[in-house]
Amino acid sequence: MQTQRFLLTAITLAACLATPAWACRPFGSYQFVEDRTGGIWFTEGDNNAVSRLAPDGSVKAYKLPTRAAEPSSLALDGKGQLWFVEMGAGRIGRLGKNGRITEYPTPNGHPGQVAVDERGEAWFTQMSGHENGSAHGEHDHANIAKVGRIDRQGRMHDYPTPEGWPTSLAFDGRHQAWVTLLVPGRDGGKPQGRLARLSRDGQWQIAAAWDNSCPSNLARLPDGGLAFSDHCRNVLTRLAPDGRQQAQKLPAGTYIQQLAAGRDGSLWFTGDEKSRLGRIDLSGRVSYLERPENGDQTMALLVTRQGDVVFSEFYNYNINRLKQSGEYVEHLINVDERHQAQEAREGEVCYVQFGARIAAKAEMDAKRAEEVRNGRFKPDGQGTEKLVEQKCLTCHDSRRLLLSRRSDWTPSLTRMHDYRNLRGVQALSPEETQRLVRYFNTYYGLIQ
């Protein structure tokens, strides 16, 4: 089951990257990174921007020059420049301290994850678009999976993988690049996993290999070592600074979407289908922090220097934070529109305490969870739910619409016009727009 789940995730990602951007819209933020002053950088797919949540709660968005770029992975270099992946555009972007964005095309493939070394050079994983189980050698040299590196002069270096494709990339405390590789099984066979070191001149060294394996989620540990998970073998491995590996079997049913290390070396993880955060302590004990189930699944993850755990959800654009006090806070991010404002403050970004909000909406949340399971929209007695199915599901799936949280649905429904045109669906009339906005604000708005 774990093998099937991981491969389905990988295949889905490959399919999304291989299709036009409008056909595969992003969900919540893919990744977070913290800067030196405590700001949290995050991706905004539908807003086509990389953005920063400041410690005071304000948000500043930096629009990308390429439309429908689908920003995903993020990394900061020593100069405070933000590097990011543009999945849909097939580029690596860099946001300078002056606010200027530079883009580097990644030909013959789709970038996935970016990391920055101690020199300030950006390394990134790249899928070829042929991740379908066919033999690695069947592709020409320029069109296979690889790891790329952009040096300080802006030159691109490509390091084709020895086999399979890269699933994660990270640097250890000695500034060595480590890569996990997935080698798909042929003719229905089981996949194979690899852990490899990669030198700056492109030399690969396989450090470990496993059968029925799909390793990923390389994460830096406070001692300079690394940790990674393997969904297929249901194993978590810690890689010590001296290269020794310590693997532990995880409890059945454990699924790790992303890993992040705390200051004490404990590991936090997302992916639980009950909306919870998971934690693995230094002894290897796995536990979950109880949180009201909302039908969503935790996704991106970051442990701040202060010890707060910041996370996103698949269908929720807002940013969630578990404070050291145990209090959950939700930063409401209006990703749909910013009304041309450079910064969003009171009203656009605010704080909502999970406990108070969900306690007051327990009955509504239970009903929504049932609607999500059934994929049915709430009837309003006027048939508006049928209008949703006719005019809105061409842009979003029903689960996403049922779980999405908006304080005002007007911008989101307006934005759907472009995607309806691409699908050849008749545009909404002013009356239909008002009707749908009223419907979503009433039944699926954040403030009810």
**Is the model more confident about 418 or about 278?**
278
448 is a domain residue:
no
- Would you say residue 64 has pLDDT above 80? yes
Asked if 274 and 330 sit in the same domain, the reply is: yes
Determine what percent of the chain is predicted with pLDDT higher than 70.
77
What are the E-state strand segments in 281-368? 286-289, 298-303, 309-313, 316-322, 328-331, 343-344, 351-353
- Would you say residue 158 has pLDDT above 60? yes
Give the 3-state secondary structure of residue 295: coil
Greatest Cα pair distance, the chain, in angstroms, is 67
Asked if 305 and 404 sit in the same domain, the reply is: no
The residue out of 338, 355, 372 marking a domain boundary is 355
pLDDT of res. 334: 56
- Going by the DSSP 8-state scheme, the letter that residue 445 receives in this structure is B
Q: Which of 303, 298, 327 has the alpha carbon at shortest distance from 315?
A: 298
Pick from 141-150, 228-237, 342-351 the range whose average pLDDT is largest: 228-237
Asked if 330 and 208 sit in the same domain, the reply is: yes
The residue out of 336, 355, 374 marking a domain boundary is 355
Q: Tell me: the pLDDT tens digits for 348-406?
A: 333 344 344 434 445 555 666 677 677 788 899 999 999 988 888 776 677 777 777 66
CATH number at residue 81: 2.130.10.10
User: Residue 149 contacts by C-beta under 8 Å, 6 or more apart in sequence?
Assistant: 121, 122, 123, 124, 156, 157, 159, 200
CA distance linking residue 35 with residue 229, whole number of Å: 26
35 is a domain residue:
yes
Asked if 350 and 223 sit in the same domain, the reply is: yes
- Would you say residue 345 has pLDDT above 70? no
309 is a domain residue:
yes
- Would you say residue 335 has pLDDT above 70? no
- Going by the DSSP 8-state scheme, the letter that residue 208 receives in this structure is E
pLDDT of res. 231: 93
Q: Tell me: the pLDDT tens digits for 226-285?
A: 999 999 999 999 999 998 999 999 999 999 999 999 999 999 999 988 889 999 999 999
148 is a domain residue:
yes
Q: Which of 149, 171, 151 has the alpha carbon at shortest distance from 160?
A: 149
138 is a domain residue:
yes
State which H helix or E strand residue 418 sits in.
helix 410-423
Residue 215 pLDDT class (50, 70, 90 cuts): very high
Residue 219 pLDDT class (50, 70, 90 cuts): very high
Asked if 326 and 247 sit in the same domain, the reply is: yes
126 is a domain residue:
yes
Asked if 164 and 281 sit in the same domain, the reply is: yes
Asked if 338 and 430 sit in the same domain, the reply is: no
Mean pLDDT calculated for residue range 144-148 = 91
CA distance linking residue 60 with residue 15, whole number of Å: 31
Q: Return the sign of the alpha-carbon dihedral for residues 28, 51, 413, 338.
A: positive
pLDDT of res. 218: 98
pLDDT of res. 126: 94
Asked if 397 and 321 sit in the same domain, the reply is: no
Q: Tell me: the pLDDT tens digits for 279-334?
A: 999 999 999 998 877 778 899 999 999 999 999 988 777 889 999 988 888 886 75
Mean pLDDT calculated for residue range 162-190 = 93
347 is a domain residue:
yes
- Domain of residue 27 covers 2-355
Q: How many domains does the chain have?
A: 2
Question: Tokens 């399971």 identify what position?
Answer: 373
- Would you say residue 179 has pLDDT above 60? yes
pLDDT of res. 296: 81
The answer to whether 264 touches 250, Cβ cutoff 8 Å, is no
CA distance linking residue 109 with residue 143, whole number of Å: 7
Question: Tokens 């969503």 identify what position?
Answer: 296
Residue 128 pLDDT class (50, 70, 90 cuts): confident
338 is a domain residue:
yes
Q: Tell me: the pLDDT tens digits for 7-45?
A: 444 433 433 333 333 323 445 789 999 999 999 999 987
Asked if 283 and 246 sit in the same domain, the reply is: yes
Lowest mean pLDDT among 145-149, 208-212, 318-322: 318-322
Asked if 51 and 185 sit in the same domain, the reply is: yes
pLDDT of res. 77: 97
Residue 420 pLDDT class (50, 70, 90 cuts): low
Provide the whole-model pTM.
Answer: 0.79
pLDDT of res. 74: 96
Q: Tell me: the pLDDT tens digits for 67-120?
A: 878 899 999 999 999 999 998 889 999 999 999 999 999 987 789 999 999 999
Asked if 348 and 327 sit in the same domain, the reply is: yes
Asked if 367 and 324 sit in the same domain, the reply is: no
The residue out of 320, 355, 390 marking a domain boundary is 355
